[in-house]
Chains A and B, each alone.
Chain A
Amino acid sequence: MEFYTSSKEKRPVRLSEETRRFAYESLNHKYGLDTLATPYITLDGYGDTGSLQQLLRMYDAAIGAIVENAPVRVCEHELVSGAATLGQAIGNSVPVLISGLSCRFMPGNSHLTADFSEVLAIGMDGIREKALRSLENHQNEEKKAFLRSCIHCIDCMRIWRDRYLDELKKRPWAERNIKNLLQVPFRPAGNFYEAVQCIWFCFAFMRLCGVWPGFGRIDVLLGGYLKKDLTDGSLTLDEAREILAHFFIKGCEWITGKETYGGDAQHYQNIVLSGIGEDGRDVTNEVTYLVLDIVEETGISDFPVSVRVNGQTDEKLLRRVGEVISFGGGIVAVYNEDTVIRAFERMGYGSAEARNFANDGCWEVQIPGKTRFDYDPFDGLLLLQKITLRDYDGRAVFNSFDELLEKYEADLKKHVGIIFDSAATPRFDGNMKHIRHAPCTVLSLFVQDCVGRGLSYLEGGPVYEIISPHIGGLPDVANSLYAIKKAVFDDRLVSFPRLLEILKNNWEGEEELRLRILNGYRYFGNDNDEVDMIAARILDSFSASCEAYDRKTPARFVSGVSTFGRQVPWASERLAAPFGRKKGDVLSGNLSPTPGTDRDGATAIIRSYCKADLSKQGTGAALDIGLIPAGADRESAVTDAVGLIKGFAALGGFFMQIDTVDRNVLIEAQKNPQNYQNLSVRVSGWNARFVTMGKDWQDMIIERTH
């Protein structure tokens, strides 16, 4: 029973044999396949979806049907109970079939970190009290209907809890599980074990109802409970590790081994560790290290872990991060909190709020438990090709490089306006009030301040609301512009109209010129200031373009940089690129160099990436780095990972995910997937078991690995 690693060295063993077996079974699809067995609950007699009011009634009935009928799954000797057992929920939709129709019109929601601190402190009963008070305070009928739905959903949760109690009572080993579930989540958590059970139960309930929430700062949430238990001797560190491990193992209950779009672990359930707290002090505690222990031992990648680092981060923590990274799996990524906090302060968040940042369950940053987040991705390279260079049809004429660059910036600005008009404006009525939306009550219970305001997550309940245009293909844009600058305007290898003609013909018959342009210049990712500053300038003007629309609605409008995996589907829409790439090539991911153009190693990549002022990207800009797995000298590989992280922080990076994987192993895994079921890779804000990704996604991962 071994957990996959790309390192020569075996993963350490700290957990009990029983817990390790549980992890092994879970990772090998046992519970995922069980979850698929019951895809949804059927509900009849709700044919009319005419009004939102009716839709809310239908939603309430759906939640009621779920808690009454979803299979109850108790795994032998599980330390933490509750399970999201309906297959359609894996796809982020409410798993109910109403009068034969899929309930997909009810949004599942993702890209947020839920607030677990409130339920830990006051329990679901406390939240119910709050909803009752809110019901008294609000006169508006729509708000009242929403709040009644809140109370209904909490009552549903109790029914579901009671079914677990009934099942657990049949198990002689489950005394402690029962005791815990009689306390949490309805009453406040009093110790570490209860706190873990509380968070898990609420998380599983949200997932069962089709929501994909992220966790945020789990060490901040749990650290105080553990400290108290360790101090009064009621729990040992080893016991705490076992309990927390079960939380991670339960989180694998959606692993099916089946091929899905971006791999089978993309459920936006990120965890954030360490960093400073609201008071500016380091929050790192025993829980921080327990999480690293668990992912290091089991290789569980379903809760992608990000560690917040800064210039003062403890060397001990950095080394632990380096050690975990060197086992492969891409589980641990890093935020440079100096840049993130600066970005948030620039946006106008108060210091305490900014210091508390987490992510949205993927890697985009937000204020946890209080934020509605949406992003609008677009292909910056396609914009250059289709709009600025007009499909290469010859109508675009530029007499200098500056003229071209300025035109691209103007086109980018215009495009940002189009996104604002299509994404932000329609969300509000003439009075800048949210227009009504399909129900999402379960999620709203866990986001501040939906209950207090009497408004759902999608109708203005959250304290903060963010809409973020995300530019993709930015390194490809910089490379394209730089190639034109050098080949056309500086070195005069080819005239501008002729180059466009060649590009239109996808470099046909021009292999020599293509290779000359592709290999004769040093592109983004090689620490070449000339091209890196083109990228930096475009990023600046992109964020300025977004700022022009910020605060025009109640939703903030801020820029970010990402592709996640979109570079794969984008490849077929794009034309040939001026820097020697052909139509159909999969190009840059996130803010990482275009595959194949980076030749100077990881330090040069980080330097190129850090040249822009990344604090202007309010929701983030990610860099992916691939490292070769450690050979005999693992110590040096760990030092390297630590050094790259420290350099990344010192140079002003934002977010970096490091994967350690051998390209040849990936190619081998593509051929013989049965031998690599648990080979996990970092995709973007999530990890995926490599063999469950489609072939074009696998190829993308192989190509970007050096």
Chain B
Amino acid sequence: MPTATVFDIKRNSYVDGPGIRTTVFLKGCNLRCAWCHSPESQRAEKEILFYRDRCVGCGRCAGISVKDENFVCYSGAKEICGKDYSVEELAGIILRDKVFYDATGGGVTFSGGECMLQEEFLAKILSRCKQSGVGTAVDTAGNVPWESFEKILSCTDYFLYDLKCVSPDLHLAGTGVSNERILTNLSRLCASCPDRVIIRVPVVPGFNTGKDELEKMAAFLGTLRFKKLELLPYHKMGEAKYAALGLEMKAFDLPSDELMEKCEKILRGL
């Protein structure tokens, strides 16, 4: 029985695909984006988050490890990040909001991390959801073998595909990996099911907002057929989680309305 490591489940989410959705966040990613807003999503292994300011010093957590996944810190200072779910357990939670999906053309979105790294489980849960009439979406950065896409193509209604930039060096500098495979996969995916691809570009000032890069992206997008393009403004909401993991957060400027407008214009070729 395959299980997946999940680090969050968000009900009544309406920004990760059409309609009202439940977004399931799978743990582990093979990118290390400098602007990542969920640092706890990156490592595949379970982790302990510690929010120092909430700690009341009760000492109950002495000696706990990531294996104690049912441990609850009652003041909310310590969190075991990552919990294993079977397909049926997860389906049970997802199905609770079916009436809301049906009302809005929504469904479930698997996100991460990189949910496609847990491909076997992903294929099973996607087909389980489809069986019960739940719409499905996969939020991916696309840095996986093309075969992984083939495995889930038949049971995924939408791909929310992240496009960070097209210049390979820039991609390497910003995410720790090159983007050849990512771009090839995106092209193939758009060729095979354009109506199901929603391309999402994070707008990160100082990373991908130079005129040159934006124009390159626009040119690349011009070669593709897809359903929709979404621009996601960079935000700093992950700050507390970086601290809780003992990590430094690299801060970028927040994109101004004018910058967002400029990016919209160039990327949409207006």
Q: Which residues of A contact B (CB under 8 A)?
A: 511-512, 515-516, 518-520, 527, 600-604, 607, 632-633, 636-637, 639-640, 642-644, 646-647, 650-651
Pair B100/A603 contact, Cβ less than 8 Å: yes
Pair A643/B74 contact, Cβ less than 8 Å: no
Closest partner residue, chain A, to B101 (CB atom):
A643
- Whether B19 is near chain A, meaning CB under 8 Å from some CB there, is yes
- Contact among A515, A516, A603, A633 with B97 in the assembled complex (CB-CB below 8 Å): A603
Pair A511/B15 contact, Cβ less than 8 Å: no
- Contact among B13, B56, B103, B233 with A512 in the assembled complex (CB-CB below 8 Å): B56
Pair B14/A639 contact, Cβ less than 8 Å: yes
Pair B103/A643 contact, Cβ less than 8 Å: yes
Query: Measured between alpha carbons, how far is A647 from B100 in the docked complex, in Å?
Result: 5
Most chain A CB within a 10 A radius of its CB, from B18, B19, B76, B260:
B19
A residues less than 8 Å from B20 (CB atoms) = 603, 639-640, 643-644, 647
A residues less than 8 Å from B65 (CB atoms) = none
A residues less than 8 Å from B64 (CB atoms) = none
Interface residues of B in 71-101 (CB under 8 A from A): 72, 74-76, 96-97, 99-100
Pair B104/A642 contact, Cβ less than 8 Å: yes
Query: Measured between alpha carbons, how far is A651 from B58 in the docked complex, in Å?
Result: 42
- Whether B106 is near chain A, meaning CB under 8 Å from some CB there, is yes
Where chain A touches its partner, the secondary structure class is: helix
Pair B104/A602 contact, Cβ less than 8 Å: no
- Whether B52 is near chain A, meaning CB under 8 Å from some CB there, is no
Pair B11/A600 contact, Cβ less than 8 Å: yes
A residues less than 8 Å from B10 (CB atoms) = 601
B residues less than 8 Å from A511 (CB atoms) = 56
Closest partner residue, chain B, to A601 (CB atom):
B12
Pair B103/A642 contact, Cβ less than 8 Å: yes
A residues less than 8 Å from B11 (CB atoms) = 600-601, 603-604
Interface size class of B (residues with CB under 8 A): 20 to 34
Pair B74/A512 contact, Cβ less than 8 Å: yes
A residues less than 8 Å from B76 (CB atoms) = 519
Interface residues of B in 1-55 (CB under 8 A from A): 10-15, 18-20
Query: Measured between alpha carbons, how far is A647 from B106 in the docked complex, in Å?
Result: 12
Q: Digit string of B51-69 for contact with A (CB within 8 Å is 1, else 0)?
A: 0000010101000000000
Pair A636/B15 contact, Cβ less than 8 Å: yes
B residues less than 8 Å from A520 (CB atoms) = 72, 74
B residues less than 8 Å from A646 (CB atoms) = 99-100, 103-104
Interface Cβ pair total, 8 Å cutoff:
76
Pair A519/B72 contact, Cβ less than 8 Å: yes
Closest 7 CB pairs of A and B: A646-B103, A515-B74, A643-B104, A601-B12, A647-B100, A643-B20, A640-B14
- Contact among B19, B58, B96, B97 with A639 in the assembled complex (CB-CB below 8 Å): B19
Pair B99/A650 contact, Cβ less than 8 Å: yes
B residues less than 8 Å from A527 (CB atoms) = 96
Q: A601-B13, A644-B20, A647-B20 are in contact. List 18 more A-B contacts (CB 8 A).
A: A512-B58, A512-B60, A516-B74, A519-B72, A519-B75, A520-B72, A603-B11, A603-B100, A604-B11, A632-B233, A636-B14, A639-B18, A640-B104, A643-B20, A644-B12, A644-B100, A646-B100, A651-B99
Query: Measured between alpha carbons, how far is A601 from B12 in the docked complex, in Å?
Result: 6
Evaluate whether A647 and B99 lie within 8 angstroms (CB atoms) in the complex, with A516-B74, A519-B76, A639-B19 already known: yes
Query: Measured between alpha carbons, how far is A381 from B81 in the docked complex, in Å?
Result: 36
Give chain B nearest CB distance to A286 CB in angstroms: 26
A residues less than 8 Å from B74 (CB atoms) = 512, 515-516, 518-520
A residues less than 8 Å from B97 (CB atoms) = 603-604, 607, 647
A residues less than 8 Å from B96 (CB atoms) = 527, 603-604, 607
Evaluate whether A515 and B75 lie within 8 angstroms (CB atoms) in the complex, with A640-B14, A643-B19 already known: yes
B residues less than 8 Å from A639 (CB atoms) = 14, 18-20, 104
Give chain B nearest CB distance to A36 CB in angstroms: 42
Provide 8 A-B residue pairs closer than 8 Å at the C-beta atoms, listed in order of the A residue: A512-B74, A516-B72, A601-B10, A601-B13, A607-B96, A636-B14, A639-B104, A643-B106
Give chain A nearest CB distance to B133 CB in angstroms: 14
B residues less than 8 Å from A607 (CB atoms) = 96-97
A residues less than 8 Å from B75 (CB atoms) = 515, 519
B residues less than 8 Å from A515 (CB atoms) = 56, 74-75
Query: Measured between alpha carbons, how far is A644 from B260 in the docked complex, in Å?
Result: 30
Query: Measured between alpha carbons, how far is A39 from B268 in the docked complex, in Å?
Result: 61
